[in-house]
Amino acid sequence: MKKTILTGIRPTGRLHLGHYYGATKNWVTLQEDYDSYFEIADVQALTDNFNNPDKVRANVREIAIDLLAIGINPNKSTIFIQSMIPEIAELTIFYSNLVTMSRLYRNPTIKTEISQKKALFGNNGEGVTYGFVGYPVSQAADITAFKGNLVPVGEDQLPLLEQCREIVRKFNSIYGDTLVEPEAFLSKSKRVKGLDGNEKMGKSLGNAIYLRDSQEDISKKVMSAVTDPNKIKKDDPANPDVCMVYYYHNLVESDNLNTICEECKKGARGCVQCKKELINSINKILDPIKEKAKYYEDNPEVVDKILLDGTKRAREVAKRTMKNVKKAIKIDYDE
């Protein structure tokens, strides 16, 4: 029997290279070996976008298009919409009894996010909602509804996974062995830096290259990338380790990586030339993705059908889990 992987993504914007190299490229490989569930986490997205439902709504299809375009195969994997699986919300309620308030407030990921969202939650988090503090419980429901064995995530998600594991252990110890305890499946690739040298590529930081950016936009963004500040003239030797252009050549695995590095160190390559080569490397990766995306953009009904079919399959699995959970909690009145 294949093991099950379950992971999710919040539909708050299109995918960029940070998502791609940080996570989703890996999902494409994993779907070959695992029973794979990819959740479009619209309920979770609403926890900090409850005042902007249009954004979440619009991005559900955009994320689906991006996932299909990078090679998530709907015949091998299940892509589904979180809000269309009411069993996830139901599980969340039962799990919420097994989590203390102090434990939720101590979650490092939640703490960081609250401090980053001052406009929404107040300067000292005084306006934080029940739903937001509780989203790790809902995420535990996402994972366990599908009996996920492995959860491919980045390091920032580890506290959420730990919370899920605690809930599972507590549930199983009180009600009997029912839920599967998942393990994190850390992706090898780490956080992707921005072309501006920022530690993270992100929408809110304005330094992201989106998978469906036009060639013109990609050129503009790469041309403005930060290079070694000590290199003034074209033939000054430079340090590739402090250059974002080299960092990206490395990330996208440009063909002549060693040559680029050596020439840069010797002062045998100008930054403009180097940026042009990077633009070519990025286009080589993104052109086919964009072409595939174009098909789905032109045929949105195909995308919607894939989402509805996936959600239907996923719901069958969640229903089975729900049945076991109700039996374990002794609220299976109709059995």
| Interface residue list for ligand TRP (CB under 6 A) | 6-10, 39, 41, 44, 139, 142-143, 151, 153, 157
Strand partners of residue 38: 7, 79
Position closest to ligand TRP via CB: 8
The DSSP symbol for 193 reads P
- For residues 8 and 4, give the distance between their C-alpha atoms in angstroms, rounded to a whole number: 14
Q: How far is the CB of 39 from ligand TRP (least distance, A)?
A: 5
Distance separating alpha carbons of residues 122 and 261, to the nearest angstrom: 46
State the nearest-atom distance from the C-beta of 97 to ligand TRP, in Å.
20
The angle, 0 to 180 degrees and rounded to 10, between the axes of the packed helices 158-175 and 135-145 is 70
| Minimal distance, residue 259 CB to ligand TRP, in Å | 37
Contact by Cβ (8 Å): 110, 133: yes
CA distances from 225 to 205, 213, 246, 254, 284 (A): 14, 16, 10, 17, 19
- For the bound state, the minimum distance from the C-beta of residue 139 to ligand TRP, rounded and expressed in Å, comes to 5
**In the complex, what is the shortest distance from the CB of residue 44 to ligand TRP, in angstroms, rounded to a whole number?**
5
User: How far from 120 is each of 113, 124, 127, 335, CA to CA, in Å?
Assistant: 11, 11, 7, 44
Q: How many CA atoms lie within 13 A of 122 on its CB side?
A: 6
We find the least distance from the C-beta atom of residue 291 to ligand TRP, in angstroms, to be 27
Dihedral sign, Cα of residue 160, residue 162, residue 163, residue 165: positive
- Select 41 or 137, whichever has its Cβ closest to ligand TRP: 41
In terms of Cα–Cα distance, which of 214, 217, 259 is closest to 240? 259
Q: Are strands 4-9 and 35-40 parallel, antiparallel or unpaired?
A: parallel
CB closer to ligand TRP out of 179 and 260: 179
Shortest distance, CB of residue 109 to ligand TRP, whole angstroms?
8
Q: Which is nearer to ligand TRP, 41 or 306 (CB)?
A: 41
d(CA 39, CA 78): 8
Minimum distance from residue 272 beta carbon to ligand TRP (Å): 36
Closest CB to ligand TRP among 260 and 325?
325
Ramachandran region, residue 253 (left: φ > 0; alpha: ψ -120 to 50; beta: rest): left
Alpha-carbon span 330 to 335, nearest angstrom: 10
Nearest residue (CB) to ligand TRP, 44 versus 281? 44
Closest distance to ligand TRP from the beta carbon of 95 (Å)? 13
Contact criterion met (CB below 8 Å) for 310 and 80: yes
CB of 139 or CB of 227, closer to ligand TRP = 139
Strands, sheet with 4-9, edge to edge from the N-terminal-most edge strand: 77-81, 35-40, 4-9, 150-153, 183-186
